[in-house]
Amino acid sequence: MALLVRRIDAPFGAEILGADLHAPPRSEFIDMVNEAVAAHAVVVLRGQFITDEEQVRFSRAFGPLELPPTLGVQGAQSRRVARELYDVSNLDEKGNFLPRESLRLASNRANEEFHTDSSFNDLPTKWSLLSARILPPEGADTEFVDTRMVHDALPPDLRERARNAVAEHWFWKTRGRAGFGTVTEEMRRAMPPVAHPLVRIIPESRRAALYIGNHATHVLGWPIAEGEAFLRQLNDFAAQPRFIYSHRWCDGDFVIWDNRCTIHRATPYDVFKYKRDLRRTTINEYGSEMASTDARG
């Protein structure tokens, strides 16, 4: 089957038909994926029943991998998947449900808030690529927002206020709200806050995008309450149904999105009744392959 890009019936997003990730990606396919993500922000490839090794090989064609970090907490990193992958599941190393106190389970709950993957890193995160291996029979969809569309639709006064603003992002903010216990000093040192501009120009599309989501805590140089209120206002504006593409997962789905111009959230499901196994690679725009915690020393 010839490769074909087809728009999804949603405010944005596209599918690539005819792809086979079992084979090493050829240059024309790499070009097609790059162009599709630049145009549509989220791109879906159906029926990709791939291995961890095939996912890593495909992902590396688009940039250096961002490796999962060391967080200074027991059980934060899964040994169930290849070391290059993020384990986005509710399963422990034996395939059983995670315990209620698990950091990974707290991370899954935190993912039910709109966010951008790795905005709490100072490395230049580019894309996430997520492979569906086991899916629950209900719930656990993923909702995406193209923040280029949101930026363009902002009232002029809000767009002007955001234009030169810089927000701080912090990993532990959403984990704490999701019920994870004490954040130790070692954990704070491993993942300290970082700052990013609220408005970014995406190189491939040359379009302005909001860099928002619920990892952002406040606006630097503004009174804390004012910055918090402004970020809530932007996030609430972005969460309007007119901006959302809701992806209902099917077995073998492989979804790519540009973290620089999207936010996303998972919808709830019963994490102690149904197993869910998704595996994510994340790539940076440039640099060497490393974890954010390694980059900070």
Q: Please tell me whether residue 150 adopts helix, strand or coil conformation.
A: helix
Q: What six digits make up the tokens of 102?
A: 């698990």
Number of domain units in the chain = 1
Instruction: Spell out, as residue ranges, where the chain has pLDDT lower than 50.
Output: none
Looking at residue 78, what is its pLDDT? 67
Alpha-carbon distance 282 to 266, whole Å?
Answer: 17
CB under 8 Å to 208, separation ≥6 — which residues? 148, 151, 152, 199, 200, 201, 202
pLDDT at 103: 82
For the stretch 86-127, pLDDT in tens is 999 999 999 999 999 888 888 888 899 999 999 988 877 999
Other C-beta atoms closer than 10 Å to the C-beta of 287 total: 12
Beta-strand (E) ranges in 8-148? 14-17, 42-45, 66-67, 86-89, 125-134, 142-146
Q: Residue 173: what pLDDT? A: 72
| The predicted structure's pLDDT at residue 75 | 52
Distance CA 148, CA 211 (A): 9
Instruction: Decide: pTM greater than 0.85.
Output: yes
Nearest partner of 140 among 254, 268, 253, judged by Cα: 268
pLDDT at 1: 66
Per-residue pLDDT, 51: 98
CATH number for 86: 3.60.130.10
Range of the domain at 118: 4-295
Q: Which residues pair with 168 in a beta bridge?
A: 195, 218
| pLDDT of res. 289 | 94
Q: Buried b vs exposed e over 83-111: b needs ≥16 C-beta within 10 Å?
A: ebbbbbbbbbeeeebbeeebbbbbbbbbb
C-alpha separations of 218 from 69, 157, 223 in Å:
24, 19, 9
Rounded to 5°, the CA angle 196-200-206 comes to 160
